[in-house]
Amino acid sequence: MHEFFSQSKDFLKNYGPLLLSHHPSCSRYKNHTLNISKIRLCIGCFVGYPSALFSIILGNFLIYPAVSQKIWLLLIGIFLFLFQFLSLTKLTEIKSIKIIQKFLIGWGAGQVLIVSYHWFSGTVLMKLIGVWGVMLIFMVPINFLHYRGLRDTCENCSERGNSLDCIYFHSEKSKGQGDKIE
């Protein structure tokens, strides 16, 4: 049992900062996080998810009931969500643009989810299952883009494994594998 806690403590020491930011703390990812004192937060998560939640709450009680043509809410939501593809450009390396982008994505996704919930028929459970499916449609491309970006950035980094800030530093040094993780 002591070994389990010891390993857990080592894991949290080495990888704990990734739990709130899930981006390495190296210089290549400085525009992906907000720093509040010593705490690093992912911009996408800590801007995008709250804006989606705010969009859902505000949209459900004020916007959705006030708009007669619900298709416009859906189209605007999809349009705002498409700001995700700005991540394929260099524009989102500017932190302020990235923050605005994540807010717009969250707001758009929230509106799409509100319209989806009201358009699905059936019980509340069936509507929630439908909304979950819509969320997956939106989240799979985002997660694929994030995975690909992280993989490409880290695999092509000349500093990989050489800095305490690198997520590969501890695993490569402990395994003695040099520059390759398998």
**Each residue of 152-161: pLDDT tens digit?**
877 888 777 7
Q: Where are the alpha helices (DSSP H) in the chain?
A: 2-15, 17-21, 43, 49-58, 64-66, 70-81, 95-119, 124-155, 169-175
| Segment holding 7, helix H or strand E | helix 2-15
At CA 46, angle to CA 166 and CA 107, rounded to 5? 135
Give the pLDDT score at 110.
92
Q: Is the sign of the CA dihedral 124, 75, 108, 132 positive or negative?
A: positive
Task: Please state, in angstroms and rounded to a whole number, the distance separating the CA atoms of residues 125 and 117.
Answer: 10
What is the per-residue pLDDT for 11? 63
> What are 58-102's pLDDT values in tens digits?
988 888 888 888 888 889 999 998 898 888 888 988 889 999 999
Is the pLDDT assigned to residue 181 strictly greater than 50?
no
Please give the pLDDT value at position 167. 63
Q: Give residue for tokens 């939640």.
A: 53
Domain layout of the chain by residue ranges: 29-155
For the segment 11-21, what is each residue's pLDDT rounded down to a tens digit?
666 565 556 56
pLDDT grade for 175, boundaries at 50, 70 and 90: low
